[in-house]
Structure 1
Amino acid sequence: MTIRPIILGGLAAILFSSSALAARMDLTIGMVLEPPGLDPTAEAAAAVDEVVYANVFEGLTRIGPEGAVKPALAKNWTISDDGLTYTFELREGAKFHDGTSFDASDVVFSLDRARAEDSTNAQKALFSAIEKVEATGDTTVVVTLSEPSGAFLYNMGWGDAVIVAPESADTNKENPVGTGPFKLDNWQRGSAITLTRNADYWGDQAKLDTVTFRFIPDPAAATAALLAGDVQAFPNLPAPEAIAQFEADPRFTVVIGSTEGETILSTNNKKPPFDDVNVRRAMAHAIDRQAIIDGAMFGLGTPIGTHFAPHNPAYVELSETYEFNPEKAKALLAEAGFEGGIKATLKLPPPSYARRGGEIIASQLRDVGIDLEIIPLEWGQWLEQVFKGKDFDLTIVSHTEPNDIDIYARDDYYFQYENPDFKALIDKLNVTADEEERFALYRQAQQIITDDAVNVYLFQLAKNGVWDAKLNGLWENSPVQANDVTGVSWSE
């Protein structure tokens, strides 16, 4: 900051200079959705990690802003030659927010809890290769796998793999107790969550004293809050129509980054008529992806033809597999025996990509004889009815978890796809460590789910980041679903 010379007398001049140079120590961040709880080991909602990942909870490893695996509660590790044994050396002196000490027994508890038969972890499959977890000292943990897992260290960096204490695990949903540089201060239901700096943090201290996450789902309200200064950052602005306005305003920084958010028209593959591949292929031909990107996202988004991020080196360009062709869609519906049309429901969660995109998709499908009843849902309703209850025909959602094509191999996953060949391919991928071999298997996996038209793959969600130009340290891209504020600060 440049301070203009001002003639003031004595103490007044000193006070002015001190206050002018003092860096701001608080931050209010805007988010679209309020998390249903704050325990990332028991919740599927991305909004949970957006508040607590790296800020409140930590894992053995963590995923950095560039997508690489970094040490976290494990300061280093060694891997046996056969790829089956991982020995983790843990941080010394780390404590949970309630004052209890962190040690190897907490790692054993957390990993055994996550992989237990009665586990409620939404990503239980991440732990499926673990055969045994042992503490061989207060700061050493040995994890033995039943088979090699090339993604094991990466998996341990997911929010679902954070380390929790047995003393507080059952109450983390309402009162999260982690080891991170921030701890929960206050949760105003329906409004905001405030974190405060953890003065007893084992690592580098956070540069902010308080961070408040405000929940503003309405695009117009989100724009207004930024312009008024009520929030100083919206890492994922739900108003793409306002991006040009912020780009022209020197008070703000605008960064259009990438995410892991494959946005799809998700389909209940076991519910007639969507159990017929020709019906699913008809929908894929009936939808103009670019029209949805332009109409719902104001041009911000990348068309995709499979469940994989375009920035990934293993990505296969398949977006032209089902070109926009309404006549071909009608012919496929007739071939499937539905020349008279189909009536179905489209359940939409709150994000603007879903609500706006849903209107466009309903119109496009109506043109080929698929009449949709649009049913708006709140996030909690969507989780209960669609994700958990599988009570849906069609829905629109962004899957923001990294490298998550393996969900298509999971038994009883919400879109209920079953293909033994695909499952065998993922099994092979899980035991393959060589990078080029893994890329080849990923490419095969993408082709299979596209050929089966499991879902209609729409676009990769852009990260529309807008924040105060004096803020430093916010992530430009989203390799994981996080608002990591551990290194955020204000310029003086």
Structure 2
Amino acid sequence: MTNRSRRARALALSAAGLVAGLIGFGVGPFAMGAATAQAQGQGKDTVVIGMTLEPPHLDPTAGAAAAIDEVVYANVFEGLTRIDSTGTVQPALAQEWTISEDGMRYSFDLRRGVTFHDGASFEASDVVFSFERAMAEESVNAQKQLFSGIETVEAPDDHTVVIDLKQPQGLFLWNLGWGDAVIVDPASAETNKTDPVGTGPYRVAERKPGDSITLVRRDDYWGHAPALARVTIKFIGDAAAQVAALMAGDVDAIPNIGAPETVAQFESDPRFDVYVGTTEGETILALNHRRAPWDDVRVRRAIQHAVDRQAIVDLAMFGFGTPIGSHFAPHNPAYIDLTDTVPHDPEKARQLLEAAGVETPIKAVMKLPPTAYARRGGEVVAAQLREVGIEVEIVPVEWAQWLSDVFKGAHDFDFTIVSHTEPLDIGIYARDDYYFGYDNPAFREHMAELEREADPDRRAELLVEAQEMVADDQVSVFLFQLAKIGVKRKGLEGLWPNAPIQANDMTNVHWAE
């Protein structure tokens, strides 16, 4: 277990009392019997998985919520390519492809005999429709920029797609593996939010809002049939309730548990396996640059000095997580450690606020989404900022309100804490009118150069420079890289240990004999 301090270990061990209390209320090993059988179904071909957040809908081409992809990616919807558990690009609906010497034309050979869940045939025209829909001016695709480099998409026949780019893109095949780039059928595209129709090995059999989604295996899937005939995904937002559900046998696994303080208890329980992996989740304290005084780089630097990243990891995440100094994942080869650029120094923070002409105490509103890392981390950050004269009012909000108040048009906030889980997403700082309001033409041009560059060594140099630019501008307070802490019942195999993208890919999950 990496990055766990002695203090955090002690906190985790002391938290065992929570689980012990649950056992005392009849959900421990002596009260499991029928519940365990229910969780595992009538045989070894069903599973119940727990997730913290419920997706607002089920169309990955029309929403930014990570929970959408966590349910449907690779299970219900597929793209031309897919990203596997190691972060490697693999063929999907395109069985192979060729790339022109100048890197401007991609020709995809599509699989034959593929159908959508409703029986419609998958053809090249569906790819053209899906990409042109994502590229359209009125597109609601949350990652519309993935398609901005496409010049044309054509279908010379039913099984061939030719894509011409405006300029070479080093990550084009990777981009096509995102959930936002899945292929949809024109006839069902507009109803995918509530009635998702994809080409994947599972279809949605039942959706109980506020409770669960059940996926059932298709009999006519084009590829290798998954081992599990039925997957039930239960939404359990409360961390203590997640622990209770595991202990009672109501769920077989929670791939990303919200109660890191209970890890020691599960590690010592022979019924469970615990696995700790990495994610693409850069957890940041985002500042609204549209509001004074957060538009002043001296004030933003002061906030950086006020925050103790390691203390946040220890106190809010019980030692799970890696402090970061820029918006980049530590496991990426191009990562540079910038955490010492602005070290924890409250006195320096007070000096910078004075130099910026800020009279303290200054009041700020921090709107926090419902995730444990945000709510717990927000309490620690607020206490640290209070020490330098910034009085923070914490406002807990649900995801729908966070999206409307913070992320979308209103931008009604001073601070928020959120984990950006999209892979290689430092490019968000080049977006126009993004929620934190950073506006740097030099950075936009830098990212445009990165987009055009195909040489791996030069791309790595540009990525290093991008990290330094957002760190120098103190755009956000970069807190920590989110860990992926999974707990599963022994014998359940195939869940992803790491999260190179947002997914609970069930296609290789099975019960060991």
Give the TM-score, by structure 1 length. 0.95
Please show how residues 25-36 of structure 1 align to structure 2 within 5 Å: 25-36=45-56
Amino acid at match of 2:502: Q
2 CA distance for matches of 1:127 and 1:202? 27
1:250 aligns with 2:270: yes
- Paired with 1:474 and 1:268, the residues of 2 have a C-alpha distance of 37
- Candidates 329, 339, 364, aligned match of 1:309: 329
Helix, strand or coil at the partner of 1:368: coil
Structure 1 window deviating more from structure 2 (440-449 vs 245-254): it is 245-254
Per the alignment, residue 468 of structure 1 pairs with: 489
2:123 and 2:465 mapped to 1: Cα distance?
Answer: 41
- Are residues 1:113 and 2:124 paired? no
Distance between the aligned counterparts of 1:305 and 1:78, measured in 2?
A: 39
Tell me if the contact between 1:330 and 1:339 (Cα under 8 Å) persists in the aligned partners. Answer: no
**AA of the residue aligned to 1:274:** W
1:309-348 to 2 correspondence within 5 Å?
Answer: 309-348=329-368
| Alpha-carbon distance in structure 1 between the residues aligned to 2:401 and 2:204 | 26
In the alignment, is the contact (CA less than 8 A) between 1:181 and 1:201 conserved in 2? Answer: yes
Counterpart selection for 2:231 from 211, 217, 229 = 211
Give a deviation string over 1:238-272, Cα, whole Å, max 9, x none. Answer: 00001111111111111100000000001111211
TM-aligned CA deviation for residue 341 of structure 1: 2.6
Q: Deviations over 1:435-465 (max 9, x none)?
A: 1110000000000000001000000000001
* Amino acid in the other structure paired with 2:421: T
Question: Could you say which residue in structure 2 is the equivalent of 1:47?
Answer: 67
Q: Distance between the aligned counterparts of 1:464 and 1:444, measured in 2?
A: 31
Per-residue deviation, 1:23: 5.4
Counterpart for residue 476 of structure 2: 455
Quick one: which amino acid aligns to residue 427 of structure 1? A
Aligned to 1:24, the other structure's residue is in SS state coil
Shift of residue 375, structure 1, vs aligned partner: 0.5
**Equivalent residue number for residue 123 of structure 2:** 103
Give the equivalent residue in structure 2 for 1:180: 200
Match in the other structure for 1:76: 96
Per-residue CA deviations over 1:332-386 (Å, capped at 9, x if unaligned) read 1111111323211000000100000001101100110111111101111111111
CA distance in 2, matches of 1:216, 1:86: 43
What's 1:231 paired with?
251
Deviations 1:457-488 (A, max 9, x none): 00000000110111010000000010000110
Q: Does 1:278 align with 2:298?
A: yes
Q: Distance in 2 between matches of 1:482 and 1:475?
A: 9
- More displaced, 22-31 or 46-55? 22-31
1:405-442, Cα deviation, whole Å (9 max, x unpaired): 01100111111111111111101000100111100000
1:435 aligns with: 456
Q: Aligned partners of 2:132 and 2:263: how far apart in 1?
A: 45
Aligned residue for 1:428, secondary structure, equals helix
Q: Deviations over 1:167-226 (max 9, x none)?
A: 011000111100000000111000101110011110001111111111111111101101
Mapped to 1, the partners of 2:287 and 2:192 lie a distance apart of 33
Query: How much is the aligned-residue C-alpha RMSD, in angstroms?
Result: 0.8
The amino acid that maps onto 2:179 is G
Among candidates 437, 442, 445, match of residue 424 of structure 1:
445
Kept after mapping to 2: 8 A contact 1:23/1:491: no
> Are 1:486 and 2:507 an aligned pair?
yes
Structure 1 contact 307–457 (Cα < 8 Å) conserved = yes
1:94/1:202 contact within 8 Å kept: yes
Distance 1:285 1:213 in 2: 41
Secondary structure class of the residue paired with 1:134: strand
- Decide whether the 8 Å contact of 2:276 with 2:484 is kept in 1: yes
Residues 272, 490 of structure 2: 8 Å contact kept: yes
Q: Residue in 2 aligned with 1:158?
A: 178
Q: Deviations over 1:147-175 (max 9, x none)?
A: 11111000000000000010011000111
CA distance in 2, matches of 1:339, 1:345: 17
The yes-or-no answer on 1:407 pairing with 2:416 is no
Name the residue aligned to 1:220.
Answer: 240
The one-letter code matched in structure 2 to 1:199 is D
1:372 to 377, 392, 395: 392
- 1:171 matched to 2:191: yes
| Contact 1:23/1:490, CA 8 A, preserved across alignment | no
| AA in 1 matched with 2:376 | R
What amino acid is the match of 1:129?
G
Structure 2 unaligned runs (5+)?
1-41
- Residue 387 of structure 1: aligned partner: 407
Distance 1:445 1:122 in 2: 22
Q: Secondary structure at the match of 2:184?
A: coil
In the alignment, which of 74, 91, 98 is matched to residue 111 of structure 2? Answer: 91
Amino acid at match of 2:298: N
- Residue 25 (structure 1) shift: 1.0
Q: Distance in 2 between matches of 1:187 and 1:276?
A: 47
Segments of 4+ in structure 1 off by > 3 A?
Answer: none
Q: How many residues align?
A: 471
CA distance in 1, matches of 2:116, 2:403: 30
After TM superposition, the score normalised by the length of structure 2 is 0.91
What is the percent sequence identity of the aligned residues? 62
Task: Please say if residues 360 and 390 of structure 2, whose CA atoms lie closer than 8 Å, have aligned partners that are also in contact.
Answer: no
